[in-house]
């Protein structure tokens, strides 16, 4: 099957490589020339413009274009552009982390044009090239069935790791909750290992514990596998800032849980902890310190030097996942604190807000 891919970063680029290795024909477009050249070096066809991309996809009514671009206004701009170029019967696939309400609206707006819209919640990160991607789809049965050859190659196996969740919006909804669960799991591991490291009287070996838990323990998981590997190389994480980005799905999960009346305390608190990590200094903490001194005359700490950070660029498509290991961070060239546009989108989290609020 032939498919177009817009956005050739670490996710989109690796998906192109996996599809190419699986015998699918892919035409990829990205505004960054190096990303286009990278997929060409691996056997895919590159396009230098949207016109070139669309022209390479074949007859109108049989074309499919997959987007892997930042959620929010960028996704909306790409869809608006495609809507003016595609024909009835063509398919637009959004594999990014868009808000499910935006995905529902986009499907409704494209329907009168006869253009199918499929939202695909995609999980797998930089390991997807090797291990495959878990994919949760929303859209019509007919559109998803047409894309079966693509899903079967991208998935860990043709018969597992992918499936239709329901109508448009459901794929991104399930991925949203998936990421909320992910936040909670990550926070629990981080808190537990911080406790273990703080219990100095036992001299606990965190790497040993993580490796032990990987075998037979009820808390074993792929996240624990990655944690164990990281601890083997650098248990102190001395080069890492404690800034933890949030991509929006945690926030959206909490908002929807409130609308549904479903308690989600673990997901909520884990997301709030990410907010705290993103503050260089907590104004609430400063106020608490001021109040303690005001009523009790207690000693307080004064801020002398602000935290200084730099940005380590994202792992690139085609790079081995080991490039993301903690021991390799100190060897990577860094960017100014605001990073490049792409890194700023990841750390500043474009896409947290919906494109259009409901009336």
For 16-53, how does the pLDDT look when each residue is reduced to its tens digit (9 = 90+)? 999 999 999 999 999 999 999 999 999 999 999 999 99
Sign, Cα dihedral of 321, 326, 332, 338: positive
Q: Which two tokens stand for residue 315?
A: 């792992």
**Of the residues 104, 116, 175, 349, which is catalytic?**
175
Is 182 known to be catalytic?
A: yes
Under CATH, which number does the domain 2-168 receive? Answer: 3.40.50.720
Q: Please report where in the chains the tokens 């597992």 appear, as a residue.
A: 160
- Coil, strand, or helix at residue 319? coil
pLDDT band at 57 (very low <50, low <70, confident <90, very high): very high
The predicted model gives 127-144 an average pLDDT of 97
Q: Does residue 349 carry a pLDDT above 50?
A: no
pLDDT band at 343 (very low <50, low <70, confident <90, very high): low
Of 43 and 304, the one with more pLDDT: 43
**Of the residues 131, 182, 211, 309, which is catalytic?**
182
Of 27 and 338, the one with more pLDDT: 27
Q: Does residue 248 carry a pLDDT above 60?
A: yes
Distance, CA of 244 to CA of 199 (rounded, Å): 24
Q: Which residues contact 218 (CB under 8 A, 6 or more apart)?
A: none
Question: Whole-structure pTM over 0.95, yes or no?
Answer: no
Q: Does residue 331 carry a pLDDT above 80?
A: no
Q: What local confidence, expressed as pLDDT, does residue 341 receive?
A: 55
Q: What local confidence, expressed as pLDDT, does residue 318 receive?
A: 79
Q: Which two tokens stand for residue 16?
A: 């192109």
Distance, CA of 285 to CA of 333 (rounded, Å): 34
**Nearest residue to 162 via CA among 116, 126, 124:** 124
Phi, psi of 97 (to 5 degrees): -100, 55
Ranges of CATH 3.40.50.720 domains, the chain: 2-168
Q: Which residues contact 298 (CB under 8 A, 6 or more apart)?
A: 292
Distance, CA of 162 to CA of 134 (rounded, Å): 6
In which order are the strands placed within the sheet that holds 2-6?
A: 45-47, 25-29, 2-6, 64-67, 91-94, 116-123, 134-138, 162-166
Q: What is the DSSP letter of 311?
A: B
Distance, CA of 157 to CA of 160 (rounded, Å): 5
Q: Does residue 339 carry a pLDDT above 50?
A: no
Under CATH, which number does the domain 176-204+241-278 receive? Answer: 1.10.1040.10
Ranges of CATH 1.10.1040.10 domains, the chain: 176-204+241-278
């Amino acid at each position: 099957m032939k498919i177009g891919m817009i956005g050739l970063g670490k996710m989109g680029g690796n998906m192109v490589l996996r599809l190419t290795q699986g015998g699918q024909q892919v035409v990829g477009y990205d505004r960054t020339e190096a990303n286009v050249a990278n997929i060409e070096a691996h056997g895919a066809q590159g396009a230098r413009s949207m016109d070139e991309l669309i022209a390479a996809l074949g007859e109108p009514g049989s074309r499919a274009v997959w987007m892997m671009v930042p959620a929010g206004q960028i996704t909306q701009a790409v869809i608006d552009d495609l809507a003016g170029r595609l024909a009835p019967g063509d398919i637009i696939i959004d594999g990014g982390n868009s808000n499910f309400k935006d995905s529902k609206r986009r499907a409704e707006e494209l329907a009168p044009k006869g253009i199918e819209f499929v939202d695909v919640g995609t999980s797998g990160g930089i390991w997807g090239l090797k291990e495959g991607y878990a994919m949760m789809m929303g859209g019509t049965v007919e559109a998803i069935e047409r894309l079966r050859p693509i899903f079967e190659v991208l998935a860990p196996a043709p018969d597992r790791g992918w499936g239709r969740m329901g109508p448009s919006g459901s794929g991104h909804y399930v991925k949203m909750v998936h990421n909320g669960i992910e936040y909670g799991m990550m926070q629990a591991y981080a808190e537990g290992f911080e406790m273990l490291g703080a219990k100095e009287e036992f001299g606990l070996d965190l790497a040993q514990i993580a490796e032990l838990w990987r075998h037979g323990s009820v808390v074993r998981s792929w996240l624990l596998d990655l944690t164990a590997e990281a601890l083997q190389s650098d248990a102190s994480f001395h080069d890492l800032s404690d800034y933890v980005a949030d991509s929006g799905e945690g926030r959206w999960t909490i908002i929807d849980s409130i609308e549904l009346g479903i308690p989600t305390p673990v997901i909520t608190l884990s997301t709030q902890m990410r907010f705290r990590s993103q503050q260089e200094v907590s104004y609430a903490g400063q106020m608490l310190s001021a109040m303690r001194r005001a009523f009790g005359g207690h000693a307080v700490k004064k801020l002398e030097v602000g935290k200084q950070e730099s940005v380590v660029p994202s792992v690139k498509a085609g790079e081995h996942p080991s490039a993301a290991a903690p021991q390799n961070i100190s060897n990577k060239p860094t960017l100014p604190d605001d990073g490049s546009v792409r890194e700023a989108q990841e750390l500043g989290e474009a896409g947290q807000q919906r494109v259009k609020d409901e009336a």
